[in-house]
Structure 1
């Protein structure tokens, strides 16, 4: 059963539609490393049907914001990904972190 504690990171990136495939080629190896982290309890990626260059993902972590910023994000495997993908952004990346409310408001089927 997935953890119902911790935080949820919501990220949106805006890529020119012609660069989405190239972006995902850089994204997938990092995605695979992130989901292998024991603290990552959920990770799903979405694409806007109206604007294929708008990608959004949700990462759930059984840790704190402090841990995310000081332990997870500085990991070396993000450096090459950021260097390769940030120039593809057509507007700034957006992100928000939410505290998960726990088992009373959690369902997975």
Structure 2
């Protein structure tokens, strides 16, 4: 697998919607993206190692990526952390 630069990644993964919620016990972040069907395999190859790395972090409660069964181009990314959204975006943004 080849490395992808941040601008290339943004072109591959256009973010349509990002919602986050932070409370006393941590945060939940949900992102909706749309992937061209002919680039889905490339996206999966790109994101799989990132998901494994996120899941291994002690602050990660869960990290899930799902595909809408009625719209294969629609991908939803959900992850929850023991710390707030600001911590995540400042540390990993």
Q: TM above 0.5, one fold?
A: yes
Which runs of 5 or more structure 2 residues have no equivalent in the other structure? 1-23
Q: Which residue matches 1:46?
A: 66
State how far apart, in whole Å, the 1-side matches of 2:42 and 2:57 are: 24
Aligned counterpart in structure 2 of residue 37 of structure 1, from 51, 57, 80 = 57
Q: Which residue matches 2:40?
A: 20
In angstroms, what is the RMSD of aligned CA positions? 1.4
Question: The residue matched to 1:42 in structure 2 has which SS?
Answer: strand
Q: Does 1:70 align with 2:68?
A: no
Using the size of structure 1 for normalisation, the TM-score is 0.60
Point out which structure has higher relative CO (alpha carbons under 8 A, 6+ apart).
Answer: 1
Structure 1 or 2, whichever has the larger Rg, is 1
Number of matched residues? Answer: 70
